[in-house]
Amino acid sequence: MHLPNRAGPRTVALETTLLLHGVPHEAAKGLAKDLAGDVRAGGGEPALIGVLAGLPIVGLSEAELDLLLAASAAGSHAVPKANTSNLGILMAQGSHAATTVSTTMELAAAAGVRVFATGGLGGVHQGWASTLDISTDLFALTRFPVAVVASGVKSLLDIPATREALETLGVPVVGFKTDKFPAFYLRESAAGVDARFDDVAKLAAFVSSELERTGRGVLVVNPISREDELDCAEFERWLLQARKHAEDHGASGRHVTPAILGALHLISRGATLRANIALVRSNARLAGQLRAAMG
């Protein structure tokens, strides 16, 4: 599939699931504006990706985003989360859809877009042995030639298992100014990266040649700043409560991640939301710099 890229040169992809399912409704529009500004501040051109009435779009206009926001305000299932398994079905049905990391990568690749910024990659959920809930995001990195700039994987996941899965799938994981695999709200986990880069120009040279060489993805991990990082013990307490909340509400499959993120935002009185916004904005800026340095 070939898709037009409405954004033009030095494009950085942004996803709609983060906006429509990852943050409270009131925060989404402002966050979209801020992320676009952050990409531009880094030297890139933002392209928000999503599906409008069955049509995949790389570079949603403000009016189109407003349409999706209005639809999702009317009912939480009006703009379903699309991963690579249900994207084509939602398109065939003429449905709206919010793209996750996996489908944002798929559509970005179809438009020739090589860099994408998000908050945290999906991964292996805790208790995966009984549920086998492993995000399609991991497999997308083996299929689409896009560099994903993220703060590791969300701290609610099984981080060592996710890191192992990336290794098994053969996905290169490179740290920007870190030797450790970040854990979203926390700067570090016990897991490591395959290589560290301290310089955007060197990172850009590696990413360009690696995408070209393999035709597959690269994960660039950028830790949350020290000022925005959460306290680890406090986060662990919130997470226990949030997980219980999601279980009590019977969340399963695609609804698990949004349910836990939403519960965390409430239980922490907005602290996890502030951290989430800070890290995704920092990733958007770095992705802009990376894209600009890729020439």
Residues involved in catalysis? 15, 154
Residue 111 vs 293, nearer CB to ligand PSU = 111
Instruction: State the number of binding residues for ligand PSU (CB under 6 A).
Output: 18
- Beta strands per DSSP E along 64-169: 81-82, 97-99, 115-117, 147-150
Contacting residues for 219 by C-beta, under 8 A, at least 6 apart = 121, 141, 147, 148, 150, 166, 171, 172, 173, 174
3-state helix, strand, coil in the chain (%, to 5): 50, 20, 35
End-to-end CA distance of the chain: 25
Q: Which of 208, 222, 257, 268 binds ligand PSU (CB under 6 A)?
A: 257
Residue 282 contacts ligand PSU per CB under 6 A: no
- Residue among 38 and 133 whose Cβ is closer to Mn ion: 133
Is position 119 an interface residue for ligand PSU (rule: CB under 6 A)? yes
Is the Cα dihedral 10, 175, 172, 32 positive or negative? Answer: negative
Residues present in the chain in total: 295
Q: Which of 49, 199, 189, 52 is nearest to 117 (CA)?
A: 49
The option from Mn ion, ligand PSU, none interacting with 217 (CB < 5 to 8 A, set by class) reads: none
Under the binding rule (CB under 6 A), the answer on residue 159 touching ligand PSU is no
Alpha carbons 7 and 187: distance in angstroms, whole number = 32
In the bound state with Mn ion, the residue whose beta carbon lies nearer, of 45 and 133, is 133
Shortest distance, CB of residue 137 to ligand PSU, whole angstroms?
5
- CB 252, min distance to Mn ion, A: 9
- Interface residues with Mn ion (CB under 5 A) are 133
- Map the footprint of ligand PSU across residues 11-70, applying CB under 6 A: 15, 17-18, 21-22
- φ, ψ for residue 285 (rounded to 5)? -65, -45
Q: Which among ligand PSU, Mn ion, none contacts residue 262 (Cβ within 5 to 8 A by kind)?
A: none
Q: Cβ atoms within 10 A of the Cβ of 138, count?
A: 23
152 binding ligand PSU? (CB under 6 A): no
> C-beta of 256: minimal distance to ligand PSU in Å?
6
Residue ranges with strand state E in 201-289: 218-221
Chain residues binding ligand PSU by CB under 6 A are 15, 17-18, 21-22, 100-101, 118-120, 122, 135, 137, 254, 257, 261, 276, 280
